[in-house]
Chains A and B, each alone.
Chain A
Amino acid sequence: MNMYERTNKISMLLEKIAEELDIPESLYLEAKNRYESVGDWLSKGDSLLTVYNPEIYPQGSFLLGTVIKPISNKDEYDIDLVCFLADLDKSETSQSELKSIVGTRLKENDTYERLLDEEGRRCWTLNYANEFHMDILPAIADLDLQKIGGLHQDAILITDKKKIDQGDVDWPKSNPKGYAKWFFSRQEVIYMAIKKQLADLLKASIDDIPNYKVKTPLQRAIQVLKRHRDIFFSRKHSEHKPISIIITTLTAEIYQGQENIYSAIYDILQAINEDIVKQNGNFSIKNPVNRDENFADKWNEDEKLPLAFFDWINSARDTFCRDVLKKEKDLEMMDVLKENLGFNIKMDRNIDSKKIETPVYIKVNDLQNRRPWGNE
Chain B
Amino acid sequence: MNIVQKQFLDLRKKYPYLYLQKNPQGFIIEGTIFIESNNIKEQYEIEINISEKYPTQIPCVKEIGGKIPKDFHHNQGYFCLETPFAVWEIFRKKETLLNFVDNLVVPYLLSYIFFKVSGKLPFGEHPHGAEGVLKDYKARFNVKDDLLMLNLLRILAENNYRGHQPCPCGSQKKLSKCHGKNIYHIIVDEKWVGFNFMKDYLMIICLLKENNVINGISKYCSKKVKHTLNKIKYNPNEKWGY
Contacts and interface: CB of A to CB of B under 8 A. Distances in A.
A145 B84 CA distance: 61
A373 B36 contact: no
Contacts of B36: 361-364
Interface stretch (B17-25, B51-59, B214-222, B224-232): B17-25
Given A370-B107, A376-B74, A376-B75, A364 B83 contact: no
A372 B78 CA distance: 12
A270 B128 contact: no
Contacts of A273: 1, 5
Nearest to B39: A365
A271 B1 CA distance: 9
Nearest to A2: B45
B128 A376 contact: yes
A374 B110 CA distance: 17
Interface in A225-274: 256, 258, 263, 266-267, 270-271, 273-274
B74 A371 contact: no
Interface stretch (B6-14, B143-151, B158-166, B171-179): B6-14
A306 to B, nearest CB: 16
Contacts of A360: 16, 34
Interface string A340-376: 0000000000000000000111111101111111111
A373 B34 CA distance: 24
A71 interface: no
B167 interface: no
Given A7-B17, A363-B37, A364-B106, A373 B126 contact: yes
B17 A372 contact: no
A202 interface: no
> Which residue, of A258, A371, A372, has the highest number of chain B Cβ atoms within 10 A?
A372
Contacts of A7: 17, 19
Interface residues of A, number: 34
Given A367-B107, A372-B111, A373-B125, A359 B75 contact: no
Interface residues of B, number: 57
Contacts, number: 129
A372 B30 contact: no
Q: Is the interface of B mostly helix, strand, loop or mixed?
A: mixed
Chain A interface, DSSP helix/strand/loop, else mixed: loop
A321 B76 CA distance: 29
B75 A3 contact: no
A3 B45 contact: yes
Contact of A365 (B14, B38, B41, B103): B38
B1 A368 contact: no
B124 interface: yes
Contacts of B84: 373
B239 to A, nearest CB: 10
Contacts of A304: none
B35 interface: yes
B194 interface: no
Contact of A359 (B43, B86, B123, B136): B43
A289 B41 CA distance: 45
Contacts of B16: 258, 263, 360
Given A362-B35, A373-B82, A374-B128, A270 B12 contact: yes
A325 interface: yes
Contacts of B124: 371
Interface string B106-138: 111011001000000111111011001100100
B202 interface: no
A271 B81 contact: no
A189 B38 CA distance: 30
A275 B1 contact: yes
B19 A359 contact: no
B110 A375 contact: no
A298 interface: no
B80 A374 contact: yes
B15 interface: yes
Contacts of B103: 368
Nearest to B65: A2
Contacts of A107: none
A270 B5 contact: yes
Contacts of A4: 17, 31-32, 34, 43
A269 to B, nearest CB: 11
A106 to B, nearest CB: 49
26 contacts: A2-B65, A7-B19, A270-B9, A271-B9, A275-B1, A321-B20, A362-B36, A362-B106, A363-B35, A367-B37, A367-B107, A367-B111, A370-B86, A370-B107, A370-B111, A372-B72, A372-B82, A372-B121, A373-B82, A373-B84, A373-B128, A373-B133, A373-B136, A374-B73, A374-B75, A375-B75
Given A373-B133, A375-B80, 13 more contacts: A7-B17, A7-B19, A270-B20, A271-B9, A367-B37, A367-B123, A368-B107, A371-B124, A372-B125, A373-B125, A373-B126, A374-B74, A374-B128
What 7 pairs between A and B have smallest CB-CB spacing?
A372-B73, A361-B36, A373-B126, A4-B32, A370-B107, A368-B107, A361-B34
Interface of A: 2-4, 7, 256, 258, 263, 266-267, 270-271, 273-275, 321-322, 325, 359-365, 367-376
